[in-house]
């Protein structure tokens, strides 16, 4: 399911934060460059569906995807109503990634798998089936739910080792579309400093920490070790980046969405358009 994303996409918060005219122009360029999908985060507020519509208007081929809609912020009925209002062509170019967010960020956070299942019940009841939705699944129970109730999974801040585990859990038919951070810097010290800055907000969130611990990293790594930074981010020349993307595909990923990392993405609205062009030239 969800098979029209192509092999390579772009994950970008900048297309949500930047000037609407400039971001529409940039999305059109990503489309023309040949990226199969454009992913945007929705967990920061309840306005991502407006931006999905805006980028659908700006593009003609690429899938516009959410990575992710925070289900605590947008009721299932509202998401389903938005979906029902789209044409069949626009629905076919949309992938709604859904996520449970994180305990420290959500008052009343509890029973993430059961809460997600209830949300999917609401989408089903309102007429939105599983084909164009995926789940931000890291652990085994959420991966099972992604397999059984959605097109598949969209893991964030993971590794090719996780992609292999996820594929085994999802089985052969489900979508697996991991996000992969890339740092276009060849100096090891500079690249790792950028990676550590990007990790700062995430290493305090238990869902990510538990995922890394399951993959064999330890509490010292979680503080931002070179070992963890090197595992989570592809940095260096294009050959190294190409090999890292291929490692996800070899491990069972269908689609890899690349996020250009320049530090804390939430602190900048500048569009990494030159980096997107370099990646397209090397990977598409």
Question: What's this model's pTM, rounded to 2 decimal places?
Answer: 0.96
Counting Cα atoms < 13 Å in the Cβ hemisphere of 104 gives 9
Structural domains of the chain, with CATH? 8-283 (3.20.20.30)
Using CA atoms, how far apart are residues 81 and 157, in angstroms rounded to an integer? 30
Q: What percent of the chain has pLDDT over 70?
A: 98
Residue 2 has pLDDT above 70, yes or no: no
Quick: pLDDT tens for 17-68. Answer: 899 999 999 999 999 999 999 999 998 788 999 999 999 999 999 999 999 9
Using CA atoms, how far apart are residues 9 and 71, in angstroms rounded to an integer? 23
Report the first-to-last Cα separation within the chain, whole angstroms. Answer: 22
pLDDT recorded at residue 154:
98
Quick: pLDDT tens for 156-200. Answer: 999 999 999 999 999 999 999 999 999 999 999 999 999 999 999
Residue 1 has pLDDT above 70, yes or no: no
pLDDT recorded at residue 182:
97
Binned at pLDDT 50, 70 and 90, residue 267 comes out as low
pLDDT recorded at residue 263:
72
Quick: pLDDT tens for 190-214. Answer: 999 999 999 999 999 999 999 999 9
Binned at pLDDT 50, 70 and 90, residue 268 comes out as low
Task: Give the full edge-to-edge strand order of the sheet including 133-135.
Answer: 175-176, 152-153, 133-135, 94-99, 63-70, 37-40, 8-11, 256-260, 179-183, 233-235
* Sequence-ordered list of residues with C-beta below 8 angstroms from that of 176, at least 6 positions apart, any chain: 152, 153, 155, 163, 166, 167, 170, 252, 253, 254, 255
268 burial via Cβ count (<10 Å: 0-12, 13-18, 19+): middle
């Amino acid at each position: 399911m969800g098979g029209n994303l192509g092999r390579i996409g772009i994950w970008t918060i900048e297309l949500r934060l930047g000037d609407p005219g400039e971001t529409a122009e940039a999305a059109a360029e990503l489309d023309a460059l040949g990226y199969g999908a454009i992913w945007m985060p929705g967990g920061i507020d309840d306005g991502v569906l407006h931006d999905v519509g805006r980028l659908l208007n700006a593009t003609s081929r690429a899938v516009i995807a959410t990575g992710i809609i925070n289900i605590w912020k947008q009721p299932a009925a509202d998401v389903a109503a938005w979906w029902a209002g789209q044409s069949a062509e626009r629905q076919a170019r949309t992938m709604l990634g859904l996520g449970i967010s994180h305990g420290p960020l959500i008052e009343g956070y509890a029973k993430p798998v059961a809460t997600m299942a209830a949300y999917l019940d609401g989408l089903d009841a309102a007429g939105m089936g599983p084909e164009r939705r995926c789940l931000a699944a890291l652990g085994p129970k959420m991966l099972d739910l992604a397999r059984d109730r959605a097109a598949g999974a969209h893991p964030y801040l993971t590794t090719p080792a996780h992609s292999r585990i996820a594929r085994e859990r999802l089985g052969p038919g489900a979508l697996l579309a991991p996000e992969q951070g890339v740092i276009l810097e060849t100096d090891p010290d500079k690249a790792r400093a950028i990676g550590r800055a990007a990790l700062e907000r995430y290493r305090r969130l238990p869902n990510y920490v538990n995922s890394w611990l399951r993959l064999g990293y330890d509490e010292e790594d979680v503080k931002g070790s070179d070992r963890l930074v090197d595992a989570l981010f592809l940095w260096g020349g294009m050959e190294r980046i190409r090999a890292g993307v291929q490692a996800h595909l070899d491990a069972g990923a269908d689609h890899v969405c690349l996020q250009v990392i320049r530090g804390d993405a939430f602190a900048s609205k500048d569009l990494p358009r030159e980096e997107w062009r370099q990646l397209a030239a090397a990977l598409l």
